[in-house]
Amino acid sequence: MNKRIVSHVCCLLLAVLQTLTPTSAQNSTVSPVNNTKAVMPKPGAASYWTLPNDVTVSVGEPVAFQCGVPEGSQNLTFTYYSSHRNYILTCPDGKVEDIPQALYGSCEVKKGELLAIWTLKGTSLSDNEAKVVCQQPDDPNVNSAVLHVYDNGASNVVLIGSLIGGFFGVLLVFSLLLLLLQRSERVQNCFGVDDTGDDLDIIFEEEKNYTKF
């Protein structure tokens, strides 16, 4: 009887251990997940799809800046700060202040993205350090980019070529004027060219007559 009781007790203990072992493993697996804290993104961090980037170009090259947000977002403001004046582009309305011909602002919608675009057709040294700033209403995030313009010597070549071309152009104009003056009878009459010729003819005739006598 004692042996039977001991065997039954051993079987019960084994059964209890088998039932407790998976429960402890499950608790050890779940506990790290419960202790992990989720990291929340910053407000407005994912509100921009396309950000403006710094650009470096030589004098005369075109340049473009883009800023994009989801199509359903509120108004997007894209400001261009230059040494001359500041210009504001508002999308999706496409409202833009009076801007020079070389600077062009536009709004586009591509694949669910609202894009504000500033395009500078030709850069100059005065455009160096120009800045663009992209911002949405009630959004603390402000994204900006800077334009760097350098002189690669092409402007000097253009200046020298313009001076040489202007010099030869002036010479050509004066040459044409001289030809016109020589062939124009009215101009010669105004300057008394015909009278001088007549006076010379009279002098030659008088000398001939004098030699005859």
Residue 59 placed within a domain = yes
Residue 186 placed within a domain = yes
74 and 141: one domain?
A: yes
125 and 79: one domain?
A: yes
Stretch 81-107: mean pLDDT: 85
59 and 145: one domain?
A: yes
Stretch 150-171: mean pLDDT: 77
Stretch 133-146: mean pLDDT: 90
Q: What is the pLDDT of residues 2-50, one digit of tens each?
A: 555 556 656 666 665 565 554 433 443 333 333 434 334 344 445 889 9
138 and 72: one domain?
A: yes
Q: Which domain holds residue 129?
A: 55-150
Residue 64's pLDDT band, with cuts at 50, 70 and 90, is very high
141 and 88: one domain?
A: yes
144 and 187: one domain?
A: no
61 and 123: one domain?
A: yes
pLDDT, mean over the chain: 75
**CATH code of the domain in which 125 resides:** 2.60.40.10
114-146 burial, b if ≥16 CB within 10 A, otherwise e?
Answer: bbbbbebeebeeebbebbbbbbbeebeeebbbb
